[in-house]
Amino acid sequence: MKYEKLEPAAIDENLAGLSGWTLAADRLSMSKSFKFRNFVEAFGFMAEAALAAEKFNHHPEWFNVYSRVDVKLTTHDAGGLTDHDIKLAKAMEKAAARRAD
Amino acid sequence: MKYEKLEPAAIDENLAGLSGWTLAADRLSMSKSFKFRNFVEAFGFMAEAALAAEKFNHHPEWFNVYSRVDVKLTTHDAGGLTDHDIKLAKAMEKAAARRAD
């Protein structure tokens, strides 16, 4: 599968279709801090996101402390954001929505 | 269960019995960077550690990128290291050892 960097307009368009993701100042990565009710829900989200990541062969950088999961997505091979990041972000949105208050 | 801060001597003794953990300069937390062969093994370790953390009701701060998991342990309620951190560290050692090369 190709890893072509998204054009600036495509990045903006994709992010507009997602909720709560922040584009880094250098536009090379996107981040979101997910909040859950407790550790079980946070790790449940991580487990579901991990399965998607492994299936897509595209993995996040993420930090977890108790009910919070901070995610950063980028495509190292392409040196920036690609469709793989958008795909993984969408999978994470779905996983998070299942655990929403 | 009590959350009493470990005495300095007890911290040193416990860390001597573990492998690869670094005490923070302020002696309030301990850290280790775990390395695995790939994401599946890294996340397998995290899943096993998460079950232990939830069982102990004591959770890590951790960061993962692909095959690496950086862990930081401290007991916020006690303002430093307690037996709970040592217990979780030992569980993590076991989980990591099962996935060693």
Give residue B43's pLDDT. Answer: 98
* pLDDT band of A2, cuts 50, 70, 90: low
Query: What contacts B40, CB < 8 A, 6 or more positions away?
Result: A54
Q: Measured between alpha carbons, how far is A51 from A61 in angstroms, rounded to an integer?
A: 14
**Measured between beta carbons, which residues in chain B are less than 8 angstroms from residue A40?**
54
For residues A68 and A12, give the distance between their C-alpha atoms in angstroms, rounded to a whole number: 26
- In this prediction the ipTM stands at 0.95
Cα separation, A48 vs A96, whole angstroms = 9
% of residues, chain B, pLDDT over 70: 97
In order of their start, the domains of chain B are: 8-83 (3.30.1360.20)
- Chain B residues close to A65, C-beta within 8 Å: 59-62
Whole-angstrom Cα distance, residue B55 to residue A72?
28
The H or E element that residue A101 is part of is none
pLDDT digits (tens, 9 = 90+) for A24-59: 999 999 999 999 999 999 999 999 999 999 999 999
pTM, two decimal places: 0.96
The residue among A33, A41, A46 with the most chain B CBs within 10 A of its CB, best to mutate, is A46
- State the SS3 of B34-57: EECCCHHHHHHHHHHHHHHHHHHC
